[in-house]
Amino acid sequence: MNIKSILIANRAEIALRIIRTARAMGIRTIAVYSDADRNAPHVREADTAFHIGPAEAVQSYLNAKRIIETAVEAGVDAVHPGYGFLSENADFAADCKTAGLRFVGPSAELIRTMGSKIEAKKHAVAAGVPVVPGYNGKDQSNEIMSAKANEIGFPILIKASAGGGGRGIRIVKKASDLPVALANASSEAKASFGDPTVLLERYVEKARHIEVQVLGDTHDNVVHLFERDCSMQRNHQKIIEEAPAPNLPAPLRQAILESAVTLATSVGYRNAGTVEYLLDENTGDFFFLEMNTRLQVEHPVTEAVTGIDLVECQLRVTAGEPLSFRQEDIACTGWAIEARVAAEDPADGYRPETGDIAAFTAPTACRMDSGVEAGSVVTHHYDSMLAKVIAHGNDRASALAQLSSGLTKMQISGITTNLNFLNDLMRSDPFSKGLHSIETITMLYPNGWPAFTVTDKIRAIAVLARYLADRPDHTTPWDSLGAWRSAAPGGRRGMAVYHLEEQPVELYETSEGITVQLMDRRPQRFTHLIFTHDRLVFEQNGQRHEVSILYDGTEVQVSNETGSFLIRVENGEEAFLSKTSDAGSGAYEIRAPMPGVVAEVLKETGTQVKVGDPIIIIETMKLLQKINAPCDGELSTIYFRVGDSIEKYALLAKFTPKEPQE
């Protein structure tokens, strides 16, 4: 191995993933970090680290010049880009070579060719690989695009030529909606990837997303590492991935695998790459979508079923070594499933969440790749993914059971996550049977995902946990004041008063246990209590129960086999303070639901608007969110301009409501 040190031009879990393999290979690692990541885990784990700029990605992790300067200064042999950021930037790969650095990935020419969906499709056609009917011409005028869309037939899929991750994508079902959709997709593509070019494809309504992991070396060897199914998606973003693909007939699987190797061989592909396909469930036809010239987020499921370390392969290929195995040496053993845990609120349109992670408990019996920990700060500057949880079993059922159990035991407090949503998906009939498609989530939740119902029992457990946590060293409540009041009738030793959802809740402790009295509900009695910092054991009606607890001030997170629930529990003093404080909100103003950057201001002051009209677009965690008018009337004041950074709940605009007519 002639690579002795590498700079990792990335952050969070993928940086840690690369460090793990590099360390095992005896390769020295150099991390880079922004202002926001100064104390991040990947910075601590690397052998050394360099500060490269402010929190904004464009000034740090996307600052190619600064990263190359740092790599040269550190004296490294190679640069590993991970995924995202500069990983598919051909100019960055070329500049690394010019600076005497080896780029861990394919050549700049290959990235430029296969990283463009338009160019990649041309090569696929030349290699005899089937592609989705569509239009990828240079003429992007509305007239040409409309004419081509009519030729292809609706529904139509608009896609950004550069980049991915669900950005710059629109589904158009009728011709009259095309101009607006084109403008929006192009604008989003420009904002996300710096390239407004889009292409048109026939939209396959019942489709699966199948991708093939390929590896090529500098000795003309190209192999596949079998396929992955990434069909469980929302807003064109992957959520759950698995290997192998379920319910895929052997002849069809073989045809897809051979197609991927044919394409990779035809372009002389080097290093790790992924060839992505769309499988039409109605016809059994498969079509080439694109090629990702980098490591994929979901690569751990391939590693699990093949036993091959893909990062090690990348480094050895970059060092000029031949692959150590042939196609016939690679076997697919067992089944692996990966779930992406994200800081988002699925019940609120998957709105990205930011804030401090108060507690973080890893899953058991599963592999977890994560870049955060208790105390980490989740900002709007980067992707919302917190962790990837991967289960590997002898078959799909055992892998699914293992993953579900692991996610149930995983706890993250301080911010809202999609853990309950993931568990709900895995228990759904289409996914459990392996019959899901890219439309499954839309079909399961046509009106959006409904949050799990919080039962009276869960509420009572949350109040009980808060009460027990408030007791110094878990002694008696008489050692402190707080929520306690003197009351001792009927053998009671005391009474505590808390507030839950603005309603008072009373707790009575007796010699036998503790009773929680929710207003107008049946009392919940708990006996034989065992309480630690993260676990509560009790008996109720003769049955033993054990739940996981995370406690952070007024927020209590309760997790059991049904899901994870975050509940705000205040004692009497806290409730009084929260009710008397002035939140400053009004009916005729709009505030930022999250921190971010003002991407676009759609209306000018003095404009007459109607309720629901888009006013401002905020960019956060690579997503664009429209903020709409709260009433009919006049837009009287706008407080921010395009490019301004904003905090959560910042006042964006005020309105003068329209006077009601007599």
Domains 118-132+208-333 and 341-451 share a fold: yes
Q: Report the percentage of the chain scoring pLDDT > 90.
A: 63
Q: 483 pLDDT exceeds 60?
A: no
* Distance, CA of 342 to CA of 419 (rounded, Å): 8
Q: Which residue has the tokens 């740092």?
A: 70
Architecture of domain 118-132+208-333: 2-Layer Sandwich (3.30)
User: Given this model, what pLDDT does residue 290 score?
Assistant: 92
Q: 477 pLDDT exceeds 60?
A: no
Q: 474 pLDDT exceeds 60?
A: no
The DSSP code for 373 is -
- Whether residue 535 lies in the annotated active site: no
* Distance, CA of 570 to CA of 580 (rounded, Å): 14
Pull the structure tokens for residue 249.
Answer: 């007939």
User: Given this model, what pLDDT does residue 282 score?
Assistant: 85
User: Right CATH number for 5-104 from 3.40.50.360, 1.10.340.30, 3.40.50.150, 3.40.50.20?
Assistant: 3.40.50.20
pTM, whole model, 2 decimals?
0.82
Q: Read off the pLDDT of residues 390-403 as tens digits, 9 standing for 90 and up.
A: 999 999 999 999 99
Architecture of domain 341-451: 2-Layer Sandwich (3.30)
H, E, C per residue of 318-372: HCCCCCCCCHHHCCCCCEEEEEEEECEEHHHCCEECCEECCEEECCCCCEEEECC
User: Given this model, what pLDDT does residue 544 score?
Assistant: 95
Q: Which of 156-165, 183-192, 211-220, 515-524 has the lowest mean pLDDT?
A: 156-165
State the fold for domain 456-579. Glycoprotein, Type 4 Pilin (3.30.700)
Q: Report the percentage of the chain scoring pLDDT > 70.
A: 93
Across all residues in the chain, what is the average pLDDT? 89
Q: 574 pLDDT exceeds 70?
A: no
User: Given this model, what pLDDT does residue 494 score?
Assistant: 56
Looking at 11, 294, 351, 466, which residue is catalytic? 294
Domain residue extents for the chain: 5-104, 118-132+208-333, 133-202, 341-451, 456-579, 589-657
Q: 579 pLDDT exceeds 80?
A: no
Q: Read off the pLDDT of residues 414-451 as tens digits, 9 standing for 90 and up.
A: 889 999 999 999 999 999 999 999 999 999 999 999 98
pLDDT band at 108 (very low <50, low <70, confident <90, very high): very high
- Give mean pLDDT, residues 581-599: 70
- What type of residue is 289? L
C-alpha distance from residue 10 to each of 6, 30, 79, 158 (Å) = 12, 11, 10, 29
Nearest one of 455, 397, 447, 384 to 426, comparing CA atoms: 397
User: Given this model, what pLDDT does residue 584 score?
Assistant: 40
User: Given this model, what pLDDT does residue 566 score?
Assistant: 84
Q: What backbone torsions phi and psi does residue 559 show, to the nearest 5 degrees? A: -125, 130
- Give mean pLDDT, residues 492-504: 74
CATH of domain 589-657: 2.40.50.100
The DSSP code for 272 is E
CATH 3.20.20.70 fits 133-202, yes or no: no
